[in-house]
Homo-oligomer: A and B are copies of this chain.
Amino acid sequence: MNSRPVKTKVAIIGATGYTAVELIKILLRHPHVEIVAATTRREDNPPISEIHPCLTGRLDLRCELLDPATIAAKADVAFACLPHVASMESIPLLLAEGLKVIDLSADYRLTDPDVYEQWYGHVHTDPTRLGTVVYGLPELYRKQIPGHKLIANPGCYTSTAILGISPLLCGGYIDPQGIIIDGKSGVSGAGRTPKLGTLFSECNESVTAYSVGNHRHAPEIDQVLSDVSGTNTEVVFTPHLIPMDRGLLCSIYAPAIKKTTEQELMQVFSDFYRESHFVRIVDHLPRTKDVIHTNFCDITVRLSRGIIHVFSALDNLVKGASGVAVQNFNLMCGYDETTALVDSPQ
């Protein structure tokens, strides 16, 4: 048909994990996207539906080994769902072949290669590109995204925390030191590689903190909040594992450093996110259940005993990973930011 627009051809690099399958499901709803390739390390070219049975009858594609030139011959944009380190090894090759890349790993999020090395335990092998990459949180960097060839898609805790803190820091309501972030995440955030700690019988009927004082999302939160607020920010971030598949809640606590009211704070948040379709400032205390399988982040504020409380909830696999990746893709390619991420127009 003449009027049918040309579709953007995309490849999924590293297709076996939870963010990859979530990404594929979202892209299958995208009217302007065709998924042309998916890579794994398996040599036997399995159908994608063998790896993710939920895709049976929905995507007829065999996985292939990652060969950047082959991918570039088919695709315009690559979504890299690789683990860190593997990501920075492949992405320069994909970019060199002319592909645009959205990287869902942590490899290009931090701007300082020394900070990367300190937290990830590896020398960064593509350090000159760091700092030229845009951080793909559209609510804060929407205008920088178009035109970029490489987007560093943010971490799940990171987005949840940053969206909950930025309006307060920018408004001068809280001090940039000592903000307490108590994060609670579903288990899918830990990935699909079999490990003792993510076995059903270990996580179910249990809650625990982990990586106290040393979770890799902490320097990322610090960096972005420092950038947004213009002041050196150091948060106290403590993640917890919750017995549920998906969903992430950050409960954020910081003393108010100027006189304010709950009503004023709610207004501050509403104003801050006026242009951001996917942030819903709600009156009630957000439940992760109300945002899972959506690209929304629900936020509310309370003021009690002088402490500002923010509750920020999203789906770690959607708004925390694959949904925001598509949001970035839309901005990068000139589509409406919400395409494939919202209901049809009513």
Cβ of A65 < 8 Å from any Cβ of B?
Answer: no
Chain B residue nearest in CB terms to A52: B290
Q: Complex: how many Å from CA A289 to CA B241?
A: 12
Which residues of chain A from 208 to 255 have any CB-CB distance to chain B below 8 Å in the complex? 208-210, 212-213, 234, 236, 238, 240, 242-247, 249, 251, 253, 255
Neighbouring B residues of A302 by C-beta, 8 Å:
212-213
Interface string of A197-209 (1 = CB under 8 A from B): 0111111111111
Neighbouring B residues of A203 by C-beta, 8 Å:
200
Neighbouring B residues of A212 by C-beta, 8 Å:
285, 302, 304, 309, 311
Known: A205-B247, A209-B251, A247-B207. A290 touches B54 (CB 8 A): yes
Cβ of A287 < 8 Å from any Cβ of B?
Answer: yes
Q: Are B53 and A210 in contact (CB under 8 A)?
A: no
Instruction: Choose the segment among A106-114, A130-138, A164-172, A184-192 that binds chain B (4+ C-beta atoms closer than 8 Å).
Output: A184-192
Q: Tell me how many chains of this kind the complex includes.
A: 4
Which residues of chain A from 100 to 126 have any CB-CB distance to chain B below 8 Å in the complex? none
Neighbouring B residues of A209 by C-beta, 8 Å:
249, 251, 285, 309, 311
Neighbouring B residues of A286 by C-beta, 8 Å:
53, 208
Q: A56-B298, A182-B182 are in contact. List 11 more A-B contacts (CB 8 A).
A: A25-B343, A28-B344, A54-B290, A184-B240, A198-B200, A205-B246, A205-B292, A207-B247, A212-B302, A236-B305, A240-B251
Q: Which 5 A-B pairs have the closest CB atoms?
A: A213-B304, A206-B289, A28-B343, A194-B194, A54-B290
Q: Which residues of A contact B (CB under 8 A)?
A: 18, 25, 28-31, 34-35, 53-54, 56-59, 178, 180, 182, 184, 186-188, 190, 192, 194-196, 198-210, 212-213, 234, 236, 238, 240, 242-247, 249, 251, 253, 255, 280, 282, 284-294, 296, 298, 302, 304-307, 309, 311, 313, 340, 342-344, 346
